[in-house]
């Protein structure tokens, strides 16, 4: 398995809509494994293909925490087929927006249909943290970030910090290259 580079916002690639996967073959299944390894390494609880520069409708999630056994889900073409009227607010963060968090309101329960890593159609019900993670990752497939669900003021503040972070990171990389 290979670790993939996670794109950090602001980046126009994160705002593009992903395309459907025609079939989950060995290549896509291996890519899902690479995504999962990248997510665990980051560490995170979810990752969408657009976050690693691949505009395909693929997400991986694992809500297991604090030493619980892993329970990963690998999903191609996930689709919410039902959502509860009841909503809940959760603090969200994102591997593409490092160290940034805010409250987002989402449906508390969802039913999702997807294609798994064996090219089988599956349906699951999700609530609580799993529901939040799936919805967050599915947003990436539409070019939507969690900050698109918060106020303009908070979003602007976060994006300014991330722009500054990226500039400092690029300067550090240039400096490291110059000293070699």
Give the catalytic positions in this structure. 137
CA 136 vs. chain centroid, Å, equals: 6
Indicate if the pLDDT at residue 47 is higher than 80.
yes
Q: Residues 78-107: pLDDT tens digits?
A: 999 999 999 999 999 999 999 999 999 999
pLDDT number for residue 22: 97
The fold adopted by the segment(s) 12-150 is Peptide Deformylase (3.90.45)
Burial of 112 (0-12, 13-18, 19+ CB in 10 A): buried
pLDDT number for residue 67: 80
145, 139 in Cβ contact below 8 A?
yes
Q: What is the mean pLDDT of residues 133-154?
A: 97
The C-alpha angle with vertex 135 and arms to 159 and 99, in degrees rounded to 5, equals: 35
| pLDDT confidence tier of residue 167, bands split at 50, 70 and 90 | confident
Indicate if the pLDDT at residue 150 is higher than 80.
yes
> In angstroms, rounded to a whole number, what is the distance separating the alpha carbons of residues 146 and 137?
9
Nearest to 54 by CA among 72, 27, 79: 27
pLDDT number for residue 128: 93
| pLDDT confidence tier of residue 179, bands split at 50, 70 and 90 | confident
pLDDT number for residue 124: 98
Q: Residues 56-84: pLDDT tens digits?
A: 999 999 999 878 899 999 999 999 999 99
Q: What is the mean pLDDT of residues 9-25?
A: 97
Indicate if the pLDDT at residue 180 is higher than 80.
no
pLDDT number for residue 168: 86
Q: What is the mean pLDDT of the chain?
A: 95
Q: What is the mean pLDDT of residues 34-48?
A: 97
Burial 114-148 (b: 16+ CB within 10 A, else e): bbebeeeeeeeebeeebbbbbbbbbbbbebebbbe
């Amino acid at each position: 398995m290979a670790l993939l580079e996670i794109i950090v916002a602001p980046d126009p690639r994160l705002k593009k809509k992903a395309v459907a996967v025609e079939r989950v073959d060995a290549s896509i299944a291996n890519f899902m494994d690479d995504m999962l390894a990248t997510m665990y390494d980051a560490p995170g609880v979810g990752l969408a293909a657009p976050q690693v520069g691949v505009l395909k409708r693929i997400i991986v999630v694992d809500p297991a925490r604090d030493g619980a056994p892993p329970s990963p889900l690998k999903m191609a073409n996930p689709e919410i087929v039902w959502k509860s009227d009841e909503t809940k607010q959760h603090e969200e963060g994102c591997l593409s927006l490092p160290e940034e968090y805010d409250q987002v309101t989402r449906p508390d329960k969802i039913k999702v249909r997807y294609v798994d890593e064996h090219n089988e159609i599956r349906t699951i019900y999700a609530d609580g943290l799993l529901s939040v993670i799936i919805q967050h990752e599915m947003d990436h497939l539409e070019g939507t970030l969690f900050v698109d669900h918060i106020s303009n003021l908070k979003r602007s503040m976060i994006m300014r910090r991330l722009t500054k972070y990226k500039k400092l990171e690029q300067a550090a990389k240039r400096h490291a290259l110059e000293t070699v």
